[in-house]
Chains A and B, each alone.
Chain A
Amino acid sequence: MYVAVKGGEAAIEAAHAWLAAARRGDPAVPELGLAQIEQQLSLAVDRVMAEGSCHDRGLAALAIKQARGDLIEAAFLLRAYRTTLTRFAAAEPLETGRMRVLRRISATYKDLPGGQVLGPTFDYTHRLLDFALAAEGAPPPPPAPEAEASGAPMPRVSEILAEEGLMRREAPGEAAPPPDLTREPLRFPAPRALRLQALARGDEGFLLGLGYSTQRGYGNAHPFVAELRLGEAEVVLHPPELGFPISIGEVTVTECQMVNQFAGAGDAPPQFTRGYGLALGHCERKAMAMALVDRALLARELGEEVAAPAQDEEFVLLHADNVEATGFVEHLKLPHHVDFQSELEKLRSIRARFEAERAAPRAEAAE
């Protein structure tokens, strides 16, 4: 129960003024610009876009600045802003197989068409603090090396396996538009399209923990990264006034195809199945965790036993959204004075009865 209470205005104003000052920090230190955040904290921007479920680097950078670097708060700000905008149109599905690849690796095939392209990765770095970065004013690093690009196509690893009949094919799409979490509430059992949408905007930390749990035995997974891709995918719209599809730009996405064995059931032969991860921006950990959890959630459709937390779609989907989760956890901070008053009174009356009952037998015994 919430009760309107007057009297906090001055305190709240002072608190917000202090917040603004704390956000700025020491005025002797130069203020952080949005371009600096967007360029130099680019993975934070990507995470806020993915979890804020809105691709706009400038808005995500602003949200990070306003939230003092609290990325969940920033995702919350971005989600709130997006509700003020009208949706003009849905885009055609991204053709990730044709993305302009920045990075593409496979842990299942060493030699594969198109090769192993490392891209700008933390992999193989030593994870030692680089104090050279602490010295400000250093000249920018030299431009990244270049080499002759072959232009060779990069077929999906999953397609190579599917050609051989070793990979379960994805069901083709229906003509109807896919269900949309932002327009209708989650329903269970949730179709895969709804699950993928929820996972794509889900909290990276929550999905990472769940994905990890499937590897540690809670869900019987033995996954391989068939393919991990980072690249720029073309956005195609079909505006009604034009009558033909148009290309309106590119978005950077990370895609992960995670391969798992499947013993076969009923008419289905033993074959590989895949979990799929796709997220806005460069966020490999998120895409990989999403792929692990997507595969775990396929248990029901594949007739596998649903026993582990990561296989329980209600548990996963209802708790993956960090904006919802933080709203409910953090609302506990708000005044519950009247609520708590009633709890206090209830406890006092129960305690009084308890004490009275404890005293009564003694009184009887004394008689």
Chain B
Amino acid sequence: MLSRPEWIAALARASAEELATALAAAAPIPPHRRLRGPEVGLTMLRGRAGGDGAPFNLGEATLTRCSVALEGGPVGHAWRLGRDCAAAEAAALLDALFQAAPERAGPLLAPIRARLAAEAERTARRAAATEVRFATLAAMR
């Protein structure tokens, strides 16, 4: 079963179409209302000096957030990079639904998680194909 941070991570990366599909599969959707948003704002991205030292402000990124409450039930939250308000609202609703029924998260998000894993795998395989294989007579240090 997926943990809440795991399903939130998948929801944040899913497209609006993927989330609409997941919502359709989750029907019937109980009554709910928006508590906040969806609204577009910014997050300040930070780096670390030298990669591992003190934090510094690198630059901002657009961010969309939304909170949805199921009637008499849990409140779902969505935070995602970018400006897709429809996706943020669907993600918040799904987060609320999954809190009420955590066992549904895994099956409903399986296609999204599979797509993300395949993309990460393809990137890793493409990078691996550009790794230099040195042909030398002796190992150098």
Measured CB to CB, the residues of A under 8 A from B are 49-50, 53-56, 58-59, 82, 85-94, 96-97, 100-103, 110-111, 115-120, 144-151, 156, 158-159, 169-174, 177-182, 192-194, 196-197, 200-201, 232, 235, 237, 239, 241-242, 244-251, 253, 255, 257, 274, 276, 278-280
Residues on B with C-beta less than 8 A from A110 are: 134, 140
Nearest 9 CB-CB pairings of A with B: A170-B53, A55-B61, A146-B125, A249-B81, A149-B124, A173-B54, A193-B56, A170-B50, A147-B129
Q: Tell me if B44 and A146 are in contact (CB < 8 A).
A: no
Closest CB in chain B relative to A317 CB, distance in Å: 13
Q: Tell me if B43 and A237 are in contact (CB < 8 A).
A: yes
Closest CB in chain B relative to A149 CB, distance in Å: 4
Instruction: Flag B25-48 by CB within 8 Å of A: 1 or 0 each.
Output: 000000000000001111111111
Question: Given that A116-B132, A174-B54, A200-B59 are known contacts, is A56 also in contact with B67, CB under 8 Å in the complex?
Answer: no
Q: Tell me if A54 and B61 are in contact (CB < 8 A).
A: yes
Closest CB in chain A relative to B99 CB, distance in Å: 11
Q: Tell me if A251 and B81 are in contact (CB < 8 A).
A: yes
Q: How far is the CA of A174 from the CA of B48 in the complex (A)?
A: 11
Q: How far is the CA of A110 from the CA of B40 in the complex (A)?
A: 46
Whether B123 sits at the interface, judged by CB under 8 Å, is: yes
Question: Given that A55-B61, A248-B79 are known contacts, is A146 also in contact with B122, CB under 8 Å in the complex?
Answer: yes
| B47 in complex: contacting residue of A53, A55, A94, CB < 8 Å | A94
Q: How far is the CA of A253 from the CA of B124 in the complex (A)?
A: 16
Closest CB in chain B relative to A90 CB, distance in Å: 4
| B67 in complex: contacting residue of A102, A116, A241, CB < 8 Å | A241
Instruction: Flag B113-124 by CB within 8 Å of A: 1 or 0 each.
Output: 000000011111
Residues on A with C-beta less than 8 A from B104 are: none
Q: Tell me if A89 and B120 are in contact (CB < 8 A).
A: no
Q: Tell me if B47 and A147 are in contact (CB < 8 A).
A: no
Residues on B with C-beta less than 8 A from A247 are: 5, 8-9, 12
Closest CB in chain B relative to A229 CB, distance in Å: 9
Q: How far is the CA of A142 from the CA of B31 in the complex (A)?
A: 49
Residues on B with C-beta less than 8 A from A177 are: 55
Q: Tell me if A94 and B77 are in contact (CB < 8 A).
A: no
The interface size bin for chain B is: 35 or more
| A117 in complex: contacting residue of B4, B48, B131, B134, CB < 8 Å | B131
Whether B51 sits at the interface, judged by CB under 8 Å, is: yes
Q: Tell me if B124 and A55 are in contact (CB < 8 A).
A: no
Residues on A with C-beta less than 8 A from B83 are: 56, 58-59
Closest CB in chain A relative to B26 CB, distance in Å: 21
Q: Tell me if B63 and A89 are in contact (CB < 8 A).
A: yes
| A280 in complex: contacting residue of B5, B40, B59, B130, CB < 8 Å | B59
Q: Tell me if A147 and B51 are in contact (CB < 8 A).
A: no
Instruction: Flag B14-34 by CB within 8 Å of A: 1 or 0 each.
Output: 000000000000000000000
Instruction: Flag B54-80 by CB within 8 Å of A: 1 or 0 each.
Output: 111111111101010000000101011
Closest CB in chain B relative to A138 CB, distance in Å: 22
| A173 in complex: contacting residue of B55, B77, B82, CB < 8 Å | B55
Supply 7 A–B pairs (Cβ within 8 Å), ascending by A: A145-B129, A158-B50, A170-B52, A180-B44, A241-B77, A245-B5, A249-B13
18 additional contacts, CB 8 Å, given A85-B41, A178-B57, A232-B123?
A55-B45, A89-B43, A90-B44, A94-B47, A102-B126, A115-B132, A117-B132, A144-B126, A149-B128, A158-B51, A170-B52, A171-B54, A193-B57, A196-B47, A241-B67, A242-B77, A248-B81, A255-B51
Closest CB in chain B relative to A242 CB, distance in Å: 6
Chain A residue with the shortest CB-CB distance to B126: A144
Whether B49 sits at the interface, judged by CB under 8 Å, is: yes
Q: How far is the CA of A286 from the CA of B97 in the complex (A)?
A: 45
Q: How far is the CA of A253 from the CA of B5 in the complex (A)?
A: 24
Whether B137 sits at the interface, judged by CB under 8 Å, is: no
Q: Tell me if B131 and A147 are in contact (CB < 8 A).
A: yes
Chain B residue with the shortest CB-CB distance to A173: B54
Q: Tell me if B50 and A180 are in contact (CB < 8 A).
A: no
Residues on B with C-beta less than 8 A from A111 are: 134, 139-141
Q: How far is the CA of A4 from the CA of B39 in the complex (A)?
A: 39
Closest CB in chain A relative to B54 CB, distance in Å: 4
Q: How far is the CA of A94 from the CA of B12 in the complex (A)?
A: 17
Q: Tell me if B131 and A170 are in contact (CB < 8 A).
A: no
Q: Tell me if A280 and B45 are in contact (CB < 8 A).
A: yes
Chain B residue with the shortest CB-CB distance to A94: B47
Question: Given that A111-B140, A115-B131, A180-B57 are known contacts, is A170 also in contact with B48, CB under 8 Å in the complex?
Answer: yes
Whether B127 sits at the interface, judged by CB under 8 Å, is: yes
